[in-house]
Amino acid sequence: MISLKTLILENAENRVNMMRVQTIMEKVYPMLTETQTKALMQLCTEIHMMVAQLNTKPYLRTEASMMEWKLLLAATQMKLNELKSEVLTIAESKEELNLVPLIKALDEVLIN
């Protein structure tokens, strides 16, 4: 039986929040080339779909669904690392563009 204590634990803080990354990305897109923008948009779209799937999974999981959740979490973290790598590559090629806030936002999502 589900207790009230475990239901209280399932709240917004336990979900993946990509709003900060999305806001910064929208500000960065106009400063990039078309190919860079396309690559970042594609990665962001894939990550947003994965995060949406993660956030719809119940916080309380059974043994059977735990493996599926872990696999989805690992795939999401891999995509986030891929996006961070792409952003770092762009930051090295465009010295005049300050992408530090975006990198920090991605680190925040990866850590939490």
Q: For the chain, how many structural domains are there in total?
A: 1
Instruction: Give this prediction's pTM.
Output: 0.81
Q: Please say whether the beta carbons of 80 and 106 come within 8 A.
A: yes
Domain limits for position 100: 17-111
The token pair at 60 is 């309380």
Residue 81 lies in a domain: yes
Residue 1 lies in a domain: no
Residue 9 lies in a domain: no
- Residues 88, 99: Cα–Cα separation, whole Å: 8
Q: What is the pLDDT of residues 60-109, one digit of tens each?
A: 667 777 788 888 889 999 999 999 999 999 999 988 888 999 999 999 88
CA distances from 61 to 9, 29, 55, 77, 100 (A): 13, 38, 13, 20, 36
pLDDT of residue 92: 92
Determine the average pLDDT of the residues in 16-29. 91
Length of the chain: 112
Identify the sign of the CA torsion 16, 74, 89, 108. positive
Residue 8 lies in a domain: no
- Percent of the chain with pLDDT strictly greater than 90: 55
Residue 70 lies in a domain: yes
- Residues 89, 34: Cα–Cα separation, whole Å: 15
Q: Please say whether the beta carbons of 78 and 70 come within 8 A.
A: no
- Residues 112, 102: Cα–Cα separation, whole Å: 16
The token pair at 111 is 């850590």
